[in-house]
Amino acid sequence: MNEIVSKQQDIEQITKSTNIVSEWSVSLLKSCGIADNWIKYINMLIILALLIVLVFVLQYLTRVILSTVFNRLEKMPQTKFFGRLKHRRFPHYLAMIIPFSLVKGSIPIIFEAFPRTMHVAGKLTDIYLIFYVIWLIMSVVNAFGDTLKKKPGLNDKPVESYIQVVKIFFYFIGFIILFSILSGKNPMYFIGGLGAASAILLLIFKDTIMGFVASIQVSVNDMVRIGDWITMPKYGADGDVIQITLSTVKIRNFDKTIVTIPPYSLVSESFQNWRGMQESGGRRLKRDIFVNQSDIYFLNAEELEEMKKVEGLKKYIEERQPRLDKLNSGLDLSVPVNGYHITNCDLFMQYAVWILKNHPDINQNMTLMVRTLAPTPEGLPIEIYTFTNTTVWVDYEKIIAEITGQILASLPFFKLRVYTTTASDPYDIYLHNTAQGNAAGNPDKTFEVN
């Protein structure tokens, strides 16, 4: 209450000072011999010019003082909020209080001889006051929102959506007061009429209401956070969520383009969120290698002994061979298909498993296997299925290149080939010519590869 009385006294003092200036200006103009019918116009212009200069000077001085105060407060760790207020131009708006009070108190003096102009000027200052208060409130709301975004538990939440709801509320109140001033009617008159216009308002703010409800559902159900990598092919979205507001969700794709989608689409439609993969600490590596099925054959004893020299195969052969011998007991093995044998494809797959288990960048706590899929006209698919111990895209691709290159390069050692549609594969020609030599009775002859 004391502050209100103090401000009222300041305004009265400003009014008295303006009266003194006005009286001095009129006396000066009369002494200069200016006609009485022109004095009031010239006097108004002189006082108006002085008021404008004084307003700019006062605002500048006040802003400098407030900026200095906020700069010092900003350096204190306990008062970081003041730094965010400064960033949102709160000192600039706050510095306009004194100039506005001066203008409001000077209007009756400046336009004393012009009642209609005084009325219009009074309306304009009232309208400006509404915008000024809204600007001041918005700067505080924005600073408060910036503070919430920095909180560890809220930095990935759609705080912007809730801040926008608060802004809409204040804009709505300001809109009602503005129309009340322009029409000269009580604000309750407009609030009472909103019931009849509710259907129209719902239609106008349909997207805003749906976006607000969707943002609450997204937040409560923890469906999407700011920073999540999501994929939504329908909208061409494949990247990180950078902003969630009432009307839009912004996604920065990996090609640096920005995709904007409505928030309620995250609730009403399906999308893929990669957060689970990122939090698990491992990313799936899944690759299919198609080998020619005609290259798969049974290994004889000499070949098995040679294969025991390969790291990771000796133990496998020594453990599996007794089991196969037991299965083959009593069978006529003069025909190989009568029994069970280790194939070159078996050893290749076991070698691939050894590569994965001994690679430092493969997550050994997640699924790791090498398996065959259903045969296709393009060959037998051998699938490598494992997880890397990193989710960083660049590192992930390097790991894939290392493992895939190592496994592909080992295929010829196991006398396997990747399926290819090229008819002029040199290795195919070599095998074809060797077969011709065997058919011609010259098994030791090597035919040239063209």
In this predicted structure, the answer to whether residue 1 has a pLDDT above a threshold of 50 is no
CB 200 within 8 A of CB 248: no
> For all residues of the chain together, what is the average pLDDT?
77
Q: Which two tokens stand for residue 28?
A: 């000066």
Together in a domain, 245 and 329: no
CA distance 393 to 397: 6
Mean of pLDDT values over 223-228: 84
In a domain, 421, yes or no: no
Structure-token match 């092919």, residue found: 233
| Domain co-membership, 209 together with 226 | no
Decide if 129 is inside a domain. Answer: yes
Whether 403 maps to a domain, the answer reads: no
Partners of 230 in the β-ladder: 239, 273
- Whole domain around residue 314: which residue ranges? 298-342
Angstrom distance (rounded) from CA 370 to CA 258: 39
- 92 vs 258, which has greater pLDDT? 258
pLDDT at position 20, please? Answer: 58
Amino acid 436: pLDDT? 47
pLDDT score for 200:
67
Asked if residue 130 and residue 59 are part of one domain, the reply reads: yes
Total domain count, the chain: 3
Q: What is the pLDDT of residues 371-428, one digit of tens each?
A: 999 999 889 999 999 999 988 888 999 999 999 999 999 999 999 999 876 544 555 5
Radius of gyration over every alpha carbon of the chain, rounded to an integer in angstroms: 41
Size of the chain, expressed as the number of residues it contains? 450
With both helix axes pointing from N to C terminus, report the angle between 97-110 and 2-31 in degrees, rounded to the nearest 10. Answer: 50
Q: What are phi and psi of 442, to 5 degrees?
A: -125, 70
253-287 per-position pLDDT tens digit: 988 899 988 888 888 888 888 888 877 888 899 99
Report d(CA 346, CA 298) in Å as an integer. Answer: 10
Same domain, 327 and 228: no
Quick one: which of 398, 400, 397, 319 has its CA closest to 355? Answer: 400
Q: What integer pLDDT is reported at residue 27 of this predicted model?
A: 62
Using DSSP's 3-state secondary structure scheme, residue 244 falls into strand
- Taking the C-alpha atoms of residue 418 and residue 412, their distance in angstroms, rounded to an integer, is 9
Per-residue model confidence as pLDDT tens digits over 180-211: 777 777 766 666 656 556 666 666 667 777 77
The residue among 306 and 16 whose pLDDT is bigger is 306
CATH number of the CATH domain containing 232:
2.30.30.60
Is 175 found in the same domain as 29?
yes
Please report the pLDDT score of residue 10 as a whole number: 45
Q: Which two tokens stand for residue 431?
A: 């095998």
Q: Which residue has the higher pLDDT, 323 or 38?
A: 323
Same domain for 65 and 119: yes
CA distance 305 to 247: 69
* Residue appearing with tokens 């604000």: 187
Q: What is the pLDDT of residue 25?
A: 61
Q: Are 313 and 351 in contact (CB under 8 A)?
A: yes
Q: Is the pLDDT of residue 437 over 50?
A: no
Tokens standing for residue 363: 């997550």
pLDDT of residue 428: 52
Residue 252's pLDDT is what?
A: 92
Does residue 434 carry a pLDDT above 90?
A: no
Please name the helix (run of DSSP H) or strand (run of DSSP E) that holds residue 252, with its range, or none.
Answer: strand 249-253
Tell the burial category of 152 from Cβ atoms under 10 Å away from its Cβ (0-12, 13-18, 19+): exposed
User: What is the full DSSP assignment across 63-106?
Assistant: HHHHHHHHHHHHTSGGGHHHHHHHHTTHHHHHTTHHHHHHHHHH
Instruction: Give the whole-angstrom CA distance, residue 402 versus residue 15.
Output: 83
Predicted confidence (pLDDT) at residue 317 exceeds the cutoff of 80: yes
Mean pLDDT of 146-159: 70
Q: Based on the domain organization, do 255 and 304 belong to the same domain?
A: no
Residue corresponding to tokens 């690759």: 287
Beta-carbon neighbour count of residue 420 at 10 Å? 14
The answer to the question of residue 362 being in a domain is no
351 assigned to some structural domain: no
Q: What Å distances lie between residue 268 and 214, 236, 246, CA to CA?
A: 9, 17, 15
Structure tokens, 179? 């129309």
pLDDT digits over 39-82, tens only? 666 666 776 777 778 778 877 888 888 777 777 777 776 667 77
% of the chain with per-residue pLDDT over 70? 74
Examine the domain organization and report whether 27 and 115 are in the same domain. Answer: yes
Asked if residue 211 is part of any domain, the answer here is: yes
Q: Please, which pLDDT band fits residue 14 given cuts at 50, 70 and 90?
A: very low
Name the domain boundary from 168, 196, 215: 215
Which candidate, 385, 374, 308, places its Cα nearest to that of 347?
308
